[in-house]
Structure 1
Amino acid sequence: MSAGHATTSAGGPEDGSEGAAAARIPVLPASAAQVLTAVRAAAAPAVTVAEAATATGLSRPTVEVALDRLAMLGLVDEVAPDPGGRRMGRPARNYRFRPRAGHVLGLDIGKYKVLAVLADLDGNVLAGHRIEVDPAQPRKARLAATRAAAKAALAAAGVTQDRLWAVTAGTTGIVDREGRIKLSSALPEWTGLHLARSLGRTFACPVLVENDCRLAAVAERWLGVARSVDDVVYLLAGMRMGVGVLNGGVLQRGHNGSLGEIGALPELGWNTAPGHLVDDPDAESSEQAVTALIAAARAGDAAAAERIGRFLDAITLGTATVALAFDPELVVVGGGFSRADDLVRARVQSALDTLCPMPPRVASSELGEDAVALGAVRVALDHVEAQLA
């Protein structure tokens, strides 16, 4: 998978941000990179010099030099030999990868919340912190909440900011290749913000920025219902509509970063679809109203079920349009309706079966509200791994 575009922005504090020294991703010689890959790919917890030499095709002396360098950089540990082992001669040297040699941070900067998730280099989540935000908050306040969430996640894991190797932020809107928000209808004050540069004043490591729906698609393929599926459409369905597309396991962005923004076509009805769910889609309480509507429909409220049905009917044509354009194996329904699989999946599947000659399967998200932040973690890890290769 590939996504996002790194913008390494290091600068002094601005707007209350806190600058930090950077933890540089080590630049490895080709031989050391090969050996590191072999150590990480091994099925066993630790790898001997001989095993690393066999896996890489490098000579034993070359592997020994590479492992010594990796150990000096903190990327591997030499494991003490088993004291109970019965073996003649010098014991074999064993090495294992150190996943906490560095860390990555995934950020989900949304209309109602900011979520920060910290992970090690194996993708193990170490901590997370969520801050609720007012949808009407100005840009500066939302950025301050983002920094506060990141700081809290780092503190919870006992990790200092200089141990971050990459940060990825997901947010609503059209994001260009430099990490600038070109257009955001959900957060109008976000339009024009160079988010990568703004966050780069806080984080001295590479900062990547991507559309939130695309990151959710990445997360579902990594940890969610789309594991091992290469061709995926992630459908954000709720008070905001959006799409993320993976083709051949690669995240699709388009030339301007606007791929999948079919809500721009009024004929498809996506912009007006939330009005079928609640009377005032822009109200701060709209998300809670949808949750209550789902509960009422499950309890047998015919009027609530009818509202949900009208909403699903309104988004069907747009969903089929994306499916026909990208021919996915799987459509993942995310957003608020990922919690309503019993009300949504069969109806969306039936519509796609009718409209698409080769209909994809439909499934509900397994990651829910964590999908964007987890996708951001995965993209940050991809960036680190590309630098280490």
Structure 2
Amino acid sequence: MTEMTTSGTDLNRLRELNSLSVVRALRGNPPSTVTELAARTGLSRPSTDVMAQGLVADGWATVVEPSGNSTVGRPARRYRFRADAGHVLGVDVGGHKILAIISDLDGTVVHSTRRAVTLDADPTTRLAAMDAVIANCLRGAGMVPDDIWAVTVGVTGPVDTTGRTTLFTPLPGWTSVNPAKHLGARFAAPIVVENDCKLAAAAERWQGVAQDADDIVYLLAGMRTGAGLIIDGTLRRGYGGAAGEIGALRAVRWLDAPSHLQNCPGVPDSVDADNAAAWVFAAAREGDRHARTAVRRYVRDLAVGAAALVLTLDPQIVVVGGGYSRSADILLDPLGRELERLCLRVPEIRASTLGDESVALGALRLALDEVDSRLFGTGLSAPLAPRRQ
């Protein structure tokens, strides 16, 4: 019989994998005993105990002291994942604002900063504003760039494999910008650039109204119309990053849909284009005939593209987000009726509750996924101890 030998490298790798198993068992759970961790990981209790103590020494876990209320026996020691061991950054570079949010490794927001920008800002101005927002957000959180473990930036327009919006973007000159390269001069962490609608869809499944669904169509309803798709629980980008860009087909009528609201008869001259839709929705609630007609025509155009996506993907839920989602009481019922007219099966339609933070929150989600993939993946070595504060 041949005797099996195990090298030191194999043993080290086994310890790394066991440590990663305990980290995963700790994350997203309340403080846990060794017995509970052993049950989740399938490791023996003695091995789990050793791994847990090692994670504490390396800074990945902390010991939660017992409350002291127990009068019978010695309370079991409990371990908690150190979510503040690292942080991620999500940035929304939009047409009218730039928003940056920092969270810990459990997705708890630590600090956020925003700044208004104009739609016609040139790339230099917009990049400078982005840099300032990020710097202020880091400063407000008491951090430096090296404290960030992953960065995701949301931008308007389909994003190719290089992280650029070379196909289309309404932001002037932005097709020439490489956000990842620009931020790479400051951050050593991985930097991902993604389309804003796709990030908003990810946010809805993570923290929004679609947490119970794996098949989702997210509709951006605002001064711009777009879509993000999640199928089988996976955010779909498409081969060139243009999945969901059905509005590029002029027959869908998404490009001109908001004009029904902006050009509604009766909108006062004192109301600018940015606020015309809000005025129309308010007037429609009051029964104004012209406003109701404008809303009906807008919904009819929105429904054409939505129906194409619904018929193609058969989602469980359609989420209506963007600025117009604040008027869901006016939009959702007529949108549902239009989809009933056009589709074989009408999914449930829900209004987003994440407001204008949805893109930045989706960016956080992708940044956390990047950390999970690179740091806690089984194909990599055990993570280095986090930097001590």
Q: Shorter chain as normaliser: what TM range?
A: 0.7 to 0.9
- Of all paired residues, the percent bearing the same amino acid is 44
What SS does the corresponding residue of 1:167 show, helix, strand or coil?
strand
Q: 2 CA distance for matches of 1:92 and 1:342? A: 52
> Of the two, which has the highest radius of gyration?
2
Q: Report the equivalent of 1:222.
A: 206
Q: Report the equivalent of 2:376.
A: 388
Q: Report the equivalent of 2:289.
A: 302
Q: 1:226-279, CA deviations, whole angstroms, 9 ceiling, x for partnerless residues?
A: 111111100111211100001011101110011111111111111122221224
Q: Which of the residues 201, 211, 215 maps onto 1:231?
A: 215
Q: 1 CA distance for matches of 2:67 and 2:95? A: 53
Note if contact 2:158-2:169 (Cα within 8 Å) is conserved in structure 1. no
Q: Report the equivalent of 2:387.
A: none
Name the Cα RMSD after superposition.
2.1
Q: 2 CA distance for matches of 1:61 and 1:301? A: 73
Q: Report the equivalent of 1:353.
A: 340
Q: CA deviation at 1:359?
A: 1.3
Change (3 A) 1:101 1:306: same
Q: Report the equivalent of 2:384.
A: none
Q: Report the equivalent of 1:366.
A: 353
Q: Report the equivalent of 1:7.
A: none
Q: CA deviation at 1:81?
A: 4.1
Q: 1:79-118, CA deviations, whole angstroms, 9 ceiling, x for partnerless residues?
A: 23444544657x6432111111111111110011001111
- Matched letter for residue 388 of structure 1: F
Q: Report the equivalent of 2:273.
A: 286
- Matched letter for residue 293 of structure 1: V
- Matched letter for residue 71 of structure 1: V
Q: Report the equivalent of 2:118.
A: 134
Q: Which of the residues 32, 47, 50 maps onto 2:32?
A: 47
Does residue 146 of structure 1 match 2:130? yes
Q: 1:30-89, CA deviations, whole angstroms, 9 ceiling, x for partnerless residues?
A: 1111011112254xx322223322321223443233223322332211223444544657
Q: 1 CA distance for matches of 2:347 and 2:31? A: 42
- Matched letter for residue 78 of structure 2: N
What SS does the corresponding residue of 1:181 show, helix, strand or coil?
coil
What is the aligned residue count?
Answer: 356
Q: CA deviation at 1:187?
A: 1.1
Q: Report the equivalent of 1:205.
A: 189
TM-score by length of 1: 0.86
TM-score by length of 2: 0.86
More moved, 197-206 vs 62-71: 62-71
Note if contact 2:27-2:106 (Cα within 8 Å) is conserved in structure 1. no
Q: Report the equivalent of 2:319.
A: 332
What SS does the corresponding residue of 1:123 show, helix, strand or coil?
coil
Q: 1:104-163, CA deviations, whole angstroms, 9 ceiling, x for partnerless residues?
A: 111110011001111111111122111000111111211121122122222233333322
What SS does the corresponding residue of 1:130 show, helix, strand or coil?
strand
Q: CA deviation at 1:354?
A: 1.1
Q: Which runs of 5+ in 1 are unaligned?
A: 1-27
- Matched letter for residue 251 of structure 1: L
Note if contact 1:111-1:133 (Cα within 8 Å) is conserved in structure 2. yes
Q: Report the equivalent of 2:49.
A: 64
Q: 1:341-363, CA deviations, whole angstroms, 9 ceiling, x for partnerless residues?
A: 11100011001111111111211
Q: 2 CA distance for matches of 1:314 and 1:88? A: 69
Q: 2 CA distance for matches of 1:305 and 1:258? A: 33
Does residue 272 of structure 1 match 2:272? no
What SS does the corresponding residue of 2:27 show, helix, strand or coil?
helix
- Matched letter for residue 50 of structure 1: T
- Matched letter for residue 336 of structure 1: G
5 Å-filtered alignment, 1:163-174, equals 163-174=147-158
Does residue 31 of structure 1 match 2:31? no
Note if contact 2:107-2:365 (Cα within 8 Å) is conserved in structure 1. yes
Q: 1 CA distance for matches of 2:295 and 2:160? A: 34
> Structure 1: which 4+ aligned runs deviate by more than 6 Å?
none
Q: 2 CA distance for matches of 1:262 and 1:190? A: 21
Note if contact 2:319-2:351 (Cα within 8 Å) is conserved in structure 1. yes
Q: Which of the residues 98, 118, 121 maps onto 1:114?
A: 98
Q: CA deviation at 1:383?
A: 1.5
Q: Report the equivalent of 2:380.
A: none
- Matched letter for residue 68 of structure 1: Q
Q: Report the equivalent of 1:342.
A: 329
